[in-house]
Structure 1
Amino acid sequence: MPPKLDRAQVVDTALRLLDETGLDGLTLRRIATELDVKAPALYWHFANKQALLDEMATEMLRRMSAGPPAVPDTWQDAVAGTCRGLRAGLLGYRDGAKVFSGTRLTDSGHAGGQQALLAVLGRAGFELADAVLAFTTAYAFTIGFVIEEQAVHPMPGERAPGYDPDRRAAGIDPEHALAAAASRELFGDFERRFERGLAIVLAGIEASLVVSSTSANP
C-alpha cells in the first residue's frame, strides 16, 4: 500500500468522483483506479462500501459545519437555518442526499451543533423529547425533499430524462386532468416548494409540540 494513501485521501477522491458517477456508479474499484492503487489497498481503511459512505457523509457534514455558527433569534430560525444549510450542502454533491441518508456518522463532531440547536429549542419551552422530535421531523422532510429534488436535477442546471413536466402531462389520460396539471408542481420550482414545505413543518411543530410543552410547564 502506498504510504501516502490515507482515509482522508480516499474520501476526498470518492466525493469528487460522486459527481461523475453518481452513487450507483461509485465503487471501491473505481476509486482505486483513480488513486492508481489496487482495490485491496482501500480495505485497509474501509471494510466495504457502506463504511466508506459513512465516512463520506461525516466529511460532508464537517464541510457543511465549517465557519462561524449562526446565532438564531428564535427556535424557528434555528430549525429552518439548519434545514436550509443541510439542503444546500447536500445539493453540492450528486446524489448527496442518498449518500447522507441512513449513514452512521463516524465521529462526534456533530455534537456541538446538535447541542446548540437543542439548547435553543429548550429555551423556547420544548422538553428534550419534543425538541428531538421537532428537529428529526424537519430533518426527515429535508432529506426526503432533496432526494426527490436530485432525482429530477442530478446536478444544477441538469434535468434527468423522464422528468419533463409537459411530457408527463401530455402522457396522462385527459380524465385525470388534476394529475396532469400537477406536473409542474411536482417537477418545478424546488426552491419555492422547499420553503413552503418547511414553513408547513414549522407550523405543525409549533401547533403540536410547543403548545404541549408549555402546557406541561406552566
Structure 2
Amino acid sequence: MPADEQQVPSVWARPRPQRRDHPALSRQQIVSAALQLLDTEGIDALSMRKLGTRLNAGATSMYTHVANKDELLELVVDEVYGEVEVPATGDPDGWRTAITGCAHSLRTTILRHPWIVSVLGETGLAYLGPNVMRLMEKMLAVFEEGGFGLQEADQAMNTVVAYVVGISTSEAATLTALARSGQSEQEWTQRLLPAAEEAARDHPRLRRLYAGQRGRRVREDRDDGFRLGLECVLEGVTARLTSTG
C-alpha cells in the first residue's frame, strides 16, 4: 500500500468495529478497567495481558476494540479529558472567569490522574478524541464570545493549556514521588530544605528563597503559585486581545 494511502495510526482514525448482538466486552468496560488500573498502580503496570486478567477476558475480546496498547492509551486519555469542565457564560465579559475555571478543572483532573503526564506527548492523535474535541470547542467558544477572532482564540487556548499542563506535570511528578515515599508533602519538603539550602550556599538569592520556605504551608503555596501564574498568563492574553481589538 502506498504511504499516502496508509491508515492514520490512531484509534480515532479508523472505523469503529461493528457491534454484535451480545458483545462479550464493550469498549467502555475496557477503558474503565484500564483507567482504574492506571490510577491505582501507575503507567508501568498497564499491559494488555494484565488488563485482560482484570476483565476476565481473552485477548480476542479486547483486540476487537483496540489494536494495541497505544490505542488503549488514546481512549483512556480522552476519557480523562471528559472530566474537565468549561463553565458556561452568556456574558462577553465573563470569558476570563470561565477560562480560569476551566484551567483549574484541567489542573485538578491531571493531578487526580498523575500518570497522564507521562503519556500526553505519546498518545498519537489523542486530540481527535470526542472529549478533547468537545473541550476545545467549548474553550474556543468562550474566547470568541469574549471578543477573540477564531485564530486568536486558538492561540489563547493553546497558551492557557500549555501553562496548565506544564505546571501540572511538575506537580504530578512530585505527588507521584511522595506517594512512593509514604511521606506527606509538608514532611517531604521540610526534610528536603536543609539539603537545598546547602546546595544553594553560593547562590544568595536561592538561599534566601529556600530559607523563606521554612514553616510555610506547602500545599497552599503550590495552589497560590498556580493561581498567580494563571493570572499572569491571562493578563498577557487580555493585553493581546486589547492590542488587536
Measured against the shorter chain, the TM-score band is 0.7 to 0.9
Other-structure match for 2:108 = 88
Say if 2:176 is the partner of 1:145.
no
Partners of 1:83 and 1:142 within 8 A in 2: yes
State percent identity of aligned pairs: 29
How do residues 69-108 of structure 1 correspond to structure 2 at under 5 angstroms? 69-71=87-89, 73=91, 74-101=94-121, 103=123, 104-108=126-130
Higher Cα Rg: structure 1 or 2? 2
TM-score (norm 2): 0.71
Partners of 1:17 and 1:26 within 8 A in 2: yes
Q: Which contiguous aligned blocks of 4+ residues in structure 1 show a shift greater than 6 angstroms?
A: none
Other-structure match for 2:196 = 169
Say if 2:244 is the partner of 1:213.
yes
Partners of 1:87 and 1:142 within 8 A in 2: yes
Partners of 2:34 and 2:46 within 8 A in 1: yes
- The letter of the residue matching 1:70 is A
Report the alpha carbon displacement of residue 126 of structure 1 after superposing the two structures with TM: 1.6
Other-structure match for 1:190 = 222
Report the alpha carbon displacement of residue 8 of structure 1 after superposing the two structures with TM: 0.8
Aligned equivalents of 1:171 and 1:27: distance in 2?
Answer: 42
How do residues 1-218 of structure 1 correspond to structure 2 at under 5 angstroms? 3-39=23-59, 41-65=61-85, 69-71=87-89, 73=91, 74-101=94-121, 103=123, 104-154=126-176, 159=185, 165-172=192-199, 174-182=201-209, 184=213, 189-207=221-239, 209-214=240-245
Report the alpha carbon displacement of residue 170 of structure 1 after superposing the two structures with TM: 4.6
Aligned equivalents of 2:184 and 2:48: distance in 1?
Answer: 26
Report the alpha carbon displacement of residue 81 of structure 1 after superposing the two structures with TM: 1.4
Aligned equivalents of 1:18 and 1:49: distance in 2?
Answer: 13
Partners of 1:54 and 1:106 within 8 A in 2: no
- The letter of the residue matching 2:171 is E
Q: Which runs of 5+ in 1 are unaligned?
A: none
Q: Which runs of 5+ in 2 are unaligned?
A: 1-21
Report the alpha carbon displacement of residue 3 of structure 1 after superposing the two structures with TM: 4.2
Report the alpha carbon displacement of residue 138 of structure 1 after superposing the two structures with TM: 0.5
CA RMSD of aligned residues (A): 3.2
Question: Could you tell which deviates more after superposition, 11-20 or 104-113?
Answer: 104-113
3-state DSSP class of the match of 1:193?
helix
**How many pairs does the alignment contain?**
209
- The letter of the residue matching 2:203 is H
Q: Alpha-carbon deviations, 1:153-212, whole Å to 9, x = none?
A: 1278855xx875315415515213434555559x763211111110111111122x2133
Q: Alpha-carbon deviations, 1:6-51, whole Å to 9, x = none?
A: 2111110111111222113322222122222344543222122221
Partners of 1:118 and 1:131 within 8 A in 2: yes
Other-structure match for 2:10 = none
